[in-house]
């Protein structure tokens, strides 16, 4: 069921999973794509929660920016850069929106800097697959998608690109304990099977946030967060498929308190195929 025919991919990107350990428990924190540009090794975070590609200008030296970043003629705010992804034979020109006053790197310890985000726009308007066991992202041709749909026609189910005030997202309709909902698929939330608003947390966990099993601190785009976690035993239904949930999380951020988010962790043993043309997806 999990065979991916790599030769059907237009582009294949290798990725790494950065691991961190908190209180003796290790979690995958981010899906990272290594690349080089102008003979400099760097990293990009793969983030389906971001509609656009973003470059962190403060993470780049002035000398590198002058050599490698070019203004796009139609929109001088947008910058383009030639990048060499690992395993890809030729350079790829990627357009980025610059983000100022943000640098996630520790200058003393980060030898290979994280300099930006690859968002949904990089994946194109045809289709792609995320192969977690092999740590590969495949940008697929229309012919490849047609073959998948011919073979697995009964296993594809719809996703949404709009939900409430959100646009240009991947939104999975789901069902937990006979209650229907929707969650943004955000590869930037790698360590979470699902994070939920505080009202949903209370309903699912039956305890206040202060009594959570886990308490993590971190930052999201410069905002300090406290993230609470609790072990649970639920099933989440995505289309016809059922996945076990072992934990839920909730954030202290008021900006995220209305939103369900599904991260990578639910799919670490799976391959997900997205047909962007038809807004349908398949989990193998």
pLDDT single digits (tens) 194-218: 988 888 887 887 787 777 888 877 6
Thinking of the domain 8-123, which architecture would CATH place it in?
A: Beta Barrel (2.40)
pLDDT at residue 5 greater than cutoff 90: no
Report whether 140 contacts 11 (CB < 8 A).
no
pLDDT, one tens digit per residue, over 236-271 is 999 989 999 988 888 776 666 668 999 888 998 899
| pLDDT value for 17 | 57
Candidate from 115-124, 132-141, 174-183, 213-222 with smallest mean pLDDT: 213-222
**Looking at the chain, which residues constitute the CATH 2.40.70.10 domain(s)?**
152-283
Helices in 2-97 by DSSP H: which ranges?
62-68
pLDDT at residue 158 greater than cutoff 60: yes
The three-state secondary structure class of 214 is strand
- pLDDT more than 90, % of the chain: 36
Helices in 96-197 by DSSP H: which ranges?
142-151
pLDDT, one tens digit per residue, over 63-85 is 999 889 988 766 668 899 999 98
pLDDT at residue 125 greater than cutoff 90: yes
> What is the pTM assigned to this prediction?
0.87
Question: How far is residue 186's CA from residue 113's CA, in Å, rounded to a whole number?
Answer: 22
Report whether 223 contacts 212 (CB < 8 A).
no
Q: Is the dihedral of CA 64, 68, 72, 78 positive or negative?
A: negative
Measured CA angle at 32 (ends 30, 36), to 5 deg: 160
Thinking of the domain 152-283, which architecture would CATH place it in?
A: Beta Barrel (2.40)
The three-state secondary structure class of 108 is coil
Look up tokens 């202060």; give the residue. 210
């Amino acid at each position: 069921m999990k065979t991916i025919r790599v030769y059907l991919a237009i582009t294949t990107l290798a990725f790494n999973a950065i691991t961190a350990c908190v209180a003796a428990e290790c979690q995958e924190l981010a899906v990272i794509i290594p690349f080089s540009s102008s003979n400099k090794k760097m990293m990009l975070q793969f983030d389906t929660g971001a509609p656009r590609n973003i470059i962190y200008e403060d993470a780049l030296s002035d000398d590198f920016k002058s050599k490698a970043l070019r203004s796009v003629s139609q929109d001088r705010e947008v910058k383009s850069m030639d990048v060499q992804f690992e395993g890809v034979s030729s350079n790829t020109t990627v357009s980025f929106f610059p983000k100022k006053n943000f640098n996630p790197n520790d200058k003393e310890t980060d030898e290979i800097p994280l300099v930006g985000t690859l968002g949904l726009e990089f994946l194109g308007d045809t289709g792609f697959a995320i192969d977690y066991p092999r740590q590969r992202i495949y940008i697929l041709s229309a012919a490849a998608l047609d073959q998948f749909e011919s073979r697995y026609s009964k296993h594809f189910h719809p996703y949404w690109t709009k939900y409430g005030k959100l646009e240009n997202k991947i939104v999975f309709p789901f069902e937990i304990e006979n209650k229907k909902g929707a969650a943004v698929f955000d590869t930037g939330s790698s360590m979470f099977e699902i994070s939920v608003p505080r009202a949903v947390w209370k309903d699912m966990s039956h305890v206040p946030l202060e009594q959570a099993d886990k308490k993590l601190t971190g930052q999201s785009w410069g905002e300090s967060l406290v993230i609470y976690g609790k072990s649970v035993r639920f099933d989440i239904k995505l289309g016809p498929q059922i996945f076990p949930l072992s934990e839920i999380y909730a954030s202290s951020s008021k900006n995220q308190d209305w939103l369900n988010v599904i991260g990578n962790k639910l799919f670490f043993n799976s391959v997900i195929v997205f047909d962007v043309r038809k807004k349908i997806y398949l989990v193998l």
